[in-house]
């Protein structure tokens, strides 16, 4: 990951010549935006500190920037500098998504949820998606019906993207956010893009709607836990999480078993000094993969 240019001051001068926000941004390798155009990293830090950059937003989680910088809590218990990764959850919102959000809200980890448009037509599930945004997570487009794009026509593939896209701006608005300022991410169901015609059509549609395509580096196969038997599946998931590295985009799913095992997964990340951020904090050029 390309490092941002650090602020022009030494560590000893931090209290005089640069802010904690600048120091944290340079530590993690993120840029610092202006007051009128804050960077995604600044927005997240603003959320964590409880001083929202958007006055209309109200968040449940109130965390101190000082605790991030000074190592408060078990999250920064290691002397190593915390490194970033990106947890992503597919196939929601579902009832278990509330459990996942509850676990995340008790930590400093935040994630990106790739939602199925059809699920958002259920008012209860829609409220869960809005709550995810309010807590500082992000919402991505995962098609309308979770169709396998390798088995459908280009016309339907286009419709799958557009119909879910039409439901997302209202989620941002109801969460008290400005939709036009948010980066948009799309993930193909099963990671399948389909025929060359499908790919061409999807590329054109996604570009017109200003989407980045988000794949993944590590597939935990957590959806297989129920099929494999809980204990065996749990062991496989633990093995997968042990392989995770800084900057990895990690694929998880909205599943009851995943929600149940999430605390232990986050503990494992904490022990490796890894913190999950939303995808808008990831270098765009690395997200755009074929």
Q: Is residue 131 part of a domain?
A: yes
Question: Of 121, 122, 130, 120, whose CA–CA distance to 98 is shortest?
Answer: 130
Question: Of 155, 195, 177, 205, whose CA–CA distance to 278 is shortest?
Answer: 177
| Same domain, yes or no: 59 and 104 | no
Q: Is residue 163 part of a domain?
A: yes
The DSSP letter of residue 152 is S
| Whether the predicted pLDDT of 93 surpasses 90 | yes
| Same domain, yes or no: 267 and 153 | yes
| Same domain, yes or no: 46 and 135 | no
* C-alpha torsion sign, points 186, 134, 136, 94: negative
| Same domain, yes or no: 254 and 185 | yes
What CA–CA distance (Å, rounded) separates 174 from 283?
28
User: Looking at the 3D structure of the chain, how many domains does it have?
Assistant: 2
Q: Is the pTM of this model over 0.85?
A: no
By the 8 A CB rule, do 186 and 211 touch?
yes
| Same domain, yes or no: 90 and 142 | yes
Q: Is residue 135 part of a domain?
A: yes
| Whether the predicted pLDDT of 40 surpasses 60 | no
Q: Is residue 113 part of a domain?
A: yes
| Same domain, yes or no: 16 and 156 | no
b/e map 62-76, b = 16+ CB within 10 Å: ebebeebeeeeeebb
- CA distances (Å), origin 246, targets 88, 218, 276: 14, 11, 9
Show the domain range for 18: 11-70
- CA distances (Å), origin 273, targets 11, 74, 75, 83: 21, 10, 7, 6
Q: Is residue 78 part of a domain?
A: no
Q: Is residue 1 part of a domain?
A: no
pLDDT, the chain, mean: 77
pLDDT of residue 38: 56
* Other CB atoms within 10 A of residue 245 CB: 12
- CA distances (Å), origin 154, targets 54, 162, 290: 39, 12, 17
| Same domain, yes or no: 63 and 96 | no
Q: Is residue 6 part of a domain?
A: no
Whichever domain contains 219, its CATH number is: 3.20.20.370
| Same domain, yes or no: 38 and 159 | no
| Same domain, yes or no: 53 and 95 | no
Q: Could you report the per-residue pLDDT of 163-201, keeping only the tens digit for each?
A: 999 999 999 999 999 877 778 999 999 999 999 999 999
| Same domain, yes or no: 139 and 242 | yes
| Same domain, yes or no: 96 and 33 | no
Q: Could you report the per-residue pLDDT of 6-21, keeping only the tens digit for each?
A: 333 332 322 333 333 4
pLDDT of residue 231: 72
Q: Is residue 4 part of a domain?
A: no
């Amino acid at each position: 990951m390309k490092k941002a240019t650090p602020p022009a001051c030494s560590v000893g001068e931090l209290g005089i010549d640069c802010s904690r926000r600048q120091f944290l941004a340079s530590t993690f390798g993120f840029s610092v935006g202006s007051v009128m155009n804050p960077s995604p990293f600044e927005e997240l830090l603003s959320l964590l500190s409880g001083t929202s950059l958007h006055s209309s937003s109200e968040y449940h989680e109130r965390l101190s920037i000082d605790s991030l910088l000074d190592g408060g809590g078990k999250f920064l218990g290691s002397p190593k500098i915390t490194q970033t990764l990106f947890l992503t959850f597919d196939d929601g919102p579902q009832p278990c998504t509330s459990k996942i959000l509850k676990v995340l809200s008790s930590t400093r980890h935040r994630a990106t949820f790739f939602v199925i448009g059809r699920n958002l037509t259920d008012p209860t599930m829609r409220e869960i998606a809005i709550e995810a945004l309010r807590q500082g997570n992000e919402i991505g487009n995962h098609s309308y019906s979770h169709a396998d794009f390798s088995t459908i026509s280009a016309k339907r593939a286009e419709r799958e993207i557009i119909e879910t896209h039409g439901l997302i701006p209202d989620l941002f608005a109801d969460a008290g956010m400005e939709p036009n300022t948010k980066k948009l991410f799309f993930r193909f169901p099963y990671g399948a893009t389909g025929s060359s015609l499908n790919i061409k059509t999807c590329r054109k549609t996604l570009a017109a709607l200003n989407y980045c395509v988000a794949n993944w580096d590590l597939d935990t196969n957590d959806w297989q836990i129920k099929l494999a038997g809980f204990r065996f599946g749990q062991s496989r998931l633990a093995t997968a999480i042990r392989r995770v590295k800084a900057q990895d985009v990690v694929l998880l799913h909205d599943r009851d078993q995943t929600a149940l095992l999430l605390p232990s997964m986050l503990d494992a990340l904490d022990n490796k000094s890894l913190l999950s951020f939303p995808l808008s904090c990831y270098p765009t050029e690395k997200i755009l993969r074929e």
